[in-house]
Amino acid sequence: MTWMLFDGSIPSAVSFVTAPNESAASFWRTIEPYLTFLFSLSVFLIAFLIVLENRNPSRTVAWLIILNFLPIVGFIFYMLLGRNVRKRKLFRHKFISNAEVLKKLETAPSGMLDENDFWQYPHLASKRRLLNLMVNVSQSPFTLRNRSKILTNGDETFRQMIQDMSEAKHHIHFQFYIIRHDTTGQQFKQVLIDKAREGVKVRVIYDGVGSVRLDKRYIAELKKAGVEVVTFFPVILPFLNNKLNYRNHRKIVIIDGKIGFVGGLNIGDEYLGKDTRYGFWRDSHVRLEGESVYLLQNIFLKDWFFVTDENIEGDSYYPSLIEEPGEELIQIASSGPDSDWESIWQMYFSIIATAQEKIYITSPYFVPDDSISMALKTAALSGLDVRILLPSRPDHQTVFWASRSYFQELLEAGVRFYLYQPGFVHAKILLVDGVVASIGTANMDIRSFQHNFEVNAIIYNSNSVYKLEDDFINDLMDSKELTLKEYKCRPWHHRILESVARLLSPLL
């Protein structure tokens, strides 16, 4: 495999170097053919290895196209993002820790359910496939003794988080993909510092890429006050780091093992709508009480063990439920490179495939794989009410245009698209039949399905499901429906942007 410029010559990085004198120029002319050969050979070998990895064919083709037309840039991007390192080896001790904690949970007198108990809930009979799937692939049992509360947007979510954190007695576990050192970040920092000084055990995990701009002084102030702060996969030399592609996208807060939060919001002013680039920020989070918090705790402690080698144990982290929190059936689904199965991806597919009346989706990023796309088209062609709510403005250009390249085939099948107008919609919600709702950190894209560490709460037949559906209907009133006729009349340059971004969609 050889790449040539329009004049027939072979590109070489060294051809751009100007020799300071004739001796140096002669040296470069001597070694240039060898360097060119070695570079071409390395790119050829990468292409060969991509094929041998037996990836999804669309991903293989995407990488080969990039390497063919942009050999130098493609080589760099593949080294940065494309290498399929042995994930099980990389995350082996993380996986073992997970199994140990789950074994402890399963032997606890917590009243957790298994598949034999589902049939006492006749309203879930139509979801038997989904229930069995989540038990088999997620290694996370269903829980019954729960109470949930949907928090709409940053104001309500941050206010509730700060209030609950301020009342912590034993520990606060705080994990986010992005933490800013702006006004909002400072407010959370002060609460964490205050509680640490009171003797509460405070642990913080932030992602090395998502929070790459976090001020070191922010971290130093937390540590000085006694807060334990760790980075998930810090990136020092990105081109030599095979972990850059595996990011911890989770947003979790756990207080005293009794209260948990999960959803789409990170920590920063933009999530309160204070960033003029995005305007109003529409997002959703959920507050949990009860046994489902044990499962969030398990996920946090597994991540903590992975980055620190410290195994946190003790009944204080899984306290007995003295008061009856409620009777909501909730599943906590996590997925990531340490999982045997892409459980959230499979969960999304199963929820869509088992729908009988309606499917409502809200996602800031929509790059479906073939299976999700086919499930949505099949549902719409079967007469189901399928509606998808997306942002009307981009925050990541490539993903934005790649999303729109999927519109026509889905519109033609009867899927209805709505573009949110007041600002940027960032909630990650899947609702089916008014019975099942998924809310959490996973977007409807390949990166969330296959590369990122994610966590979602699946809530069954509760007031929270109805609240999420009400919020969805209200969001539609603030959105503009995109018809097939309007989409076909889009400007020609939009078509080009969509087509180019579509080629990259398997890599997004």
Query: Where exactly are the structural domains of the chain?
Result: 33-82, 145-326, 343-507
Q: Which of 164, 283, 369, 433 is catalytic?
A: 433
Percent of the chain with pLDDT over 90: 52
pLDDT, residue 2, reads 44
Q: Is 426 a catalytic residue?
A: yes
The pLDDT value given to residue 211: 94
The whole-angstrom separation of Cα 274 and Cα 138 is 37
Across 113-236, where does the E strand assignment appear?
A: 146-152, 171-176, 201-207, 228-232
Which of 139-143, 188-192, 358-362 is least confident? 139-143
Most confident of 160-164, 332-336, 458-462: 160-164
Per-residue pLDDT tens over the stretch 414-434:
999 999 999 999 999 999 999
Cβ(304)–Cβ(453) below 8 Å: no
Out of 302, 377, 426, 451, which one is annotated catalytic? 426
Q: Tell me the pTM.
A: 0.81
Q: What is the pLDDT of residue 14?
A: 44
Q: Give the tens place of pLDDT for each residue, 471-495.
A: 999 999 999 999 999 999 999 999 8
Looking at 127, 195, 249, 285, which residue is catalytic?
A: 249
Mean pLDDT of 437-451: 90
Average pLDDT, the chain: 82
pLDDT value at 496 more than 70: yes
The fold of 145-326 is: Endonuclease; Chain A (3.30.870)
297-315 pLDDT, tens digit each: 999 999 999 899 999 988 8
Q: What integer is the mean pLDDT of 270-285?
A: 94
CATH architecture entry for 343-507: 2-Layer Sandwich (3.30)
| Distance of alpha carbon 374 from alpha carbon 409, whole angstroms | 10
* Catalytically annotated residue among 171, 181, 251, 377: 251
Flag whether pLDDT at 231 surpasses 50. Answer: yes
Of the listed ranges 4-18, 122-136, 438-452, the one predicted with least confidence: 4-18
User: In which residue are the tokens 């996920």 written?
Assistant: 299
pLDDT for 382 beyond 70: yes
Q: Is 494 a catalytic residue?
A: no
| Residues facing residue 267 across a β-bridge | 179
From 164, 256, 283, 338, active-site residue: 256
- Helix 343-353 vs helix 128-138: crossing angle, to nearest 10: 180
With a cut of 80, say whether residue 83 has pLDDT above it: no
145-326 and 343-507 agree in CATH topology: yes
pLDDT tens column, 207-229 = 998 999 999 999 999 999 999 99
Note if 256 is an active site residue.
Answer: yes
